[in-house]
Amino acid sequence: MGERACYRAICSSCDRQVSIADETCPECGADLDTDG
């Protein structure tokens, strides 16, 4: 079991919790600045 929070980010446009592997937010389609 790992720290699940380590693999999450927050979309700056709609505040949805997203995976660091996502390049765009599944909710609003905004480009994400994640290091995944």
pTM: 0.65
C-alpha neighbours within 13 Å on the C-beta side of residue 8: 9
User: What pLDDT score was predicted for residue 24?
Assistant: 95
Q: Please write the tens of the pLDDT for every residue from 1-36.
A: 555 557 889 999 999 999 989 999 999 999 998 655
Sorted by sequence, the CB contacts under 8 Å of residue 4 that are 6+ apart come out as none
3-class SS letters over 1-36: CCCHHHHEEECCCCCCEEECCCCECCCCCCECCCCC
Question: Do the beta carbons of residue 9 and residue 19 sit within 8 Å?
Answer: yes
Q: Are the C-beta atoms of residues 27 and 6 closer than 8 Å to each other?
A: no
pLDDT at 2: 59
Q: Domain coordinates of the chain in residue numbers?
A: 1-36
pLDDT at residue number 11: 95
